[in-house]
Structure 1
Amino acid sequence: MTITQLLNRIKPLDQEQMAETQAYLDTLTKPIGSLGVLEDMACQLTAIYQDPRPPIPAKALIIMIGDHGVAAEGISAFPPEVTTQMTMNYSSGGAGANVMARHAGAEVVCVDIGVAVDLPDMPRLIKRKIAYGTQNMTQGPAMTREQAEKAILTGADIVAELVRCGVGMVATGEMGIANTTAAAAIIAAIKGESAERVVGRGSGIDDSRLQRKITIVNQALTVNKPNPQDPIDILAKVGGLEIAGLVGVILGAAAERVPVVVDGFISTAAAVIAASLSPDCKAYMIGSHLSIEPGHQHMLSYLGLEAMLHMRFRLGEGTGACLAMIMADAALKMLHEMATFESAGVAISISRPSETQKAKDIPWGHL
């Protein structure tokens, strides 16, 4: 499969199905629109699945893992070796992502797409290494265009395999020391933002290292001159292999017609690239949480994506996305389990609020 073939498989959602779902939601025993984002999500999910009452799906958290050459610049609180050590932690089930995935009922699937060393066979680990990490993007492109495209197709292929195994919802996760630097460079390149506005503290760096990180992002953009009109050029020059893999996960989910829950800063950098390649894929994304990384809101605004959770997260790994999958389950259970006014024997006549009237302005006691 080529990138073009992958993109051609992504289709817009059926707006009529979404309208029909909203009409049904309006018959449930609640004020019109009172469940807010859950109602939006229910409409989105029925259109994605092309089913007015979709079952609760099997879920998978896909953690793409890759090392970054730019880590040599000392812009992280942790050494590059932590990428490998954390991969082993995911495999043994001890990371934050594992805890949140278990809570959400999601399987954890780790993908070595660019770890700098050869890893042993481990539970939950799929080996699809494209390269032994990226190059230092302050000296030239992080990877070749061919490597970026191969990583994208790898991510899409893994989603297709999971869907064939019965998975109906995926979440994005990642690991790679220094990947917040790459994510900041991506959004700066696409939106033309200054590094000062999008670079954050990542793993918890101090002020002096933060200034160093800003300088590194500016240097990478100056050296590589990524083309803002060419998303793959940006990805190859200042991205990461795990970010490229997540671009494929997002595009692959849209192509397979399953929702993809987008995690935080790094995952949303991948979503920005994916949406730049295929605007239609945005309809398959579910925003999970708002990271405290300053560049994350810029990314969400670019996508027109709403973050459900505001919890000061900055761990990554897919932790926020796993919590949001629980919200998706709630949206579907609302369709299956909530009574209508008619079935509950509640005599009531209500109409949809005008565009200027918010559902929250209609007190239950006045209906």
Structure 2
Amino acid sequence: MPQSAVSFQISSVSNAQDPMIQQKIDLKTKPLGALGLLESLALQIARVQGAMLPQDTLKIAHPTLLVFAGDHGIAAQGVSIAPSEVTRQMVQNFAHGGAAINVFCRQVGFKLEVIDCGILTPVEDVDGIINQRLGAGTEAIHLAPAMALNTVDKGFAMARDLIERHHQAGCNLIAFGEMGIGNTSAAAAIMAAMMQLDVADCVGRGTGIDAETLARKLALIEQALLLHQRALTGPKAVLACLGGFEIVQMTGAILAAAERKMLVVIDGFIATAAALVAVKIAPNVRDYLIFAHQSDEQGHLRMLDFLQAKPLLALGLRLGEGTGAALALPLIQAAVNFYNQMASFSDAGIEAVV
């Protein structure tokens, strides 16, 4: 039976209370703007959480990081330093707690969940992996559409159910990461299609490929865009033609979280490509997005600029998994805590310097 289309009702975030919120920030015991991006972050969080009065407090509750995993048909063409089998091996590593994302989530207090969206071979008899498989890897995008259009809607529906479970459990901040050999190719293709850019402006070295592999990757993505150019009629069609199962579900999860007025933390290049599609589908999504970091991947800064995003970190990361999103959580908590706990000039009996 065909999957029915999934739509999301996402409200814009009101800026009516911005003067009051900004005044509360400005009257903290510091020079104006001295906390930099933490101040604009606190303002964004206060908007999303509807802080209406000076005494209103902000809150991060049950922060959760979801890692979506999927395989890509284009990986068989050697566009990465690793074969597709490594996707499954890394998913096992996540489940056993041994990856960088596990270490960072434990350190900062993120609950971590791993979702199998469609790796080539599922991991059997391992706890901690959620089965939301859309298939056993996508088709090779330079030869065929990655998936059927109704598969995109199926992935969106699965993602919405996943987010709803976390929302019902009290989570109000959710972060996204991914795992999938070949997924920088899919993300670069999505970027080129959505932003109407030359492929060369979007394609990078991913996990660290050499010049010969980079040239092959570039040629295959150009071939994919040429093959599908008439079918790229909208964001969902772009996902169907060029995306990955993990990118589809990440996009759906971003939309669903914004629908539930949750804060959404975006990781690196692949997650930002999903965010780009989500914003194209529903522009109000942008109000809920916090961009964790600027990765070292070619094209990421350009995509961030397109989304008018100022990332919290720039550490030269290019690992994926949600590692940048995890490392950003203490900064988000710092923005909340200074807003809630830092004394005002009048509280402290200090002459205002505003």
TM-score grouping bracket, smaller chain normalisation: over 0.9
- Determine the C-alpha separation between the residues in 2 that align with 1:99 and 1:214: 34
Shift of 1:5: 3.7
Kept after mapping to 2: 8 A contact 1:226/1:233 = no
Count of residues in Structure 1 that have an aligned counterpart in Structure 2: 348
Deviations 1:101-148 (A, max 9, x none): 112200111011111113214232111111111011111100111111
1:35-184 pair list within 5 angstroms? 35-51=35-51, 52-184=56-188
Counterpart of 2:19 in structure 1 is 19
Mark the CA change 1:226 to 1:59 in structure 2 (over 3 Å): closer, same or farther.
Answer: farther
> Structure 2 counterpart of 1:127, which letter?
N
Q: Which runs of 5+ in 2 are unaligned?
A: none
Counterpart of 1:365 in structure 2 is none
- Determine the C-alpha separation between the residues in 2 that align with 1:18 and 1:3: 36
Please state whether the residue corresponding to 1:167 is helix, strand or coil: coil
Mark the CA change 1:54 to 1:231 in structure 2 (over 3 Å): closer, same or farther.
Answer: same
> Structure 2 counterpart of 1:94, which letter?
G
RMSD over equivalenced CA pairs, Å: 1.5
Q: Which runs of 5+ in 1 are unaligned?
A: 351-367
> Structure 1 counterpart of 2:135, which letter?
A
- Determine the C-alpha separation between the residues in 1 that align with 2:29 and 2:145: 56
Shift of 1:3: 5.3
Stretches of 4+ aligned residues off by more than 6 angstroms = none
Give the TM-score normalised by structure 1. 0.92
Shift of 1:56: 3.0
Give the TM-score normalised by structure 2. 0.95
> Structure 1 counterpart of 2:25, which letter?
L
* Partner of residue 349 from structure 2, selected from 330, 345, 350: 345
Mark the CA change 1:349 to 1:317 in structure 2 (over 3 Å): closer, same or farther.
Answer: closer
Mark the CA change 1:31 to 1:229 in structure 2 (over 3 Å): closer, same or farther.
Answer: farther
Counterpart of 1:330 in structure 2 is 334
Mark the CA change 1:4 to 1:134 in structure 2 (over 3 Å): closer, same or farther.
Answer: closer
Kept after mapping to 2: 8 A contact 1:287/1:305 = yes
Kept after mapping to 1: 8 A contact 2:68/2:250 = yes
Kept after mapping to 2: 8 A contact 1:156/1:248 = yes
**Structure 1 stretch 330-339 or stretch 12-21: which is displaced more?**
12-21
Deviations 1:2-27 (A, max 9, x none): 65542x2x101120233321111111
- Determine the C-alpha separation between the residues in 2 that align with 1:80 and 1:349: 58
- Identity of counterpart residues, as a percentage? 37
Please state whether the residue corresponding to 2:113 is helix, strand or coil: strand
Kept after mapping to 2: 8 A contact 1:186/1:238 = yes
Mark the CA change 1:228 to 1:305 in structure 2 (over 3 Å): closer, same or farther.
Answer: farther
Deviations 1:233-273 (A, max 9, x none): 11110110100111011111101111110000000000000
Kept after mapping to 2: 8 A contact 1:258/1:284 = yes
- Determine the C-alpha separation between the residues in 2 that align with 1:348 and 1:297: 38
